[in-house]
Amino acid sequence: MMKPFDDTYFMKRALQEAQLAFDKNEVPVGAVIVMNNQIIARAHNLTETLNDVTAHAEMQAFTAAADFLGGKYLKECTLYVTLEPCQMCAGASYWTQIGKIVYGASEEKRGFINLNTTLHPKTTVVAGVLKEECATLLKKFFIEKRNLN
C-alpha cells in the first residue's frame, strides 16, 4: 500500500521552498516542518533578503513552527530540509528537541555530521531523500552565480 504522506512527499514540498529561494537569488535551501502529516511551517533561505547570516531555511522554519504551536519545543515534529543542516541549524534543532530530521543533499564542508555537531538524543535522522533533485538545484544555482561573475 502506498502512503500519500511519506518522506518523499514532504521533501518535494521542501524543494518547492528551495525553488522560491532560487527565484529570489538566495542559496536554494528549503524546509518544511510537519506534525501529524500536516505542514505547520514552510521556509527557505532569506540570508540575502534580510541581510542576516542566521536566516537559514531551518531557522525560519523553527520560528514559524514554534509560533504555530505556541511553544518552543518541536518534539512531535519532523524537519524536512533540502540540504544537510549546518552546525548552527543543527544546534538550534537540539534546543527545539525536534523529533526527526530528514534531509536531501549532504553538505560535506559545513554539514553537522562531518562537524560532529550533537543533536538532541531523541532526534532521529534520515539522509538522502531526493538527494539528486536537491543537489541539482544547488549546483544549478552556483553554476549560474559563477557565470555571472
Active site amino acids? 58
57 and 44 Cβ atoms separated by less than 8 Å:
yes
d(CA 85, CA 81): 8
Residue 131 CA to residue 121 CA, distance in Å, equals: 25
11 DSSP 8-state letter: H
What are 126's three cell numbers? 534520515
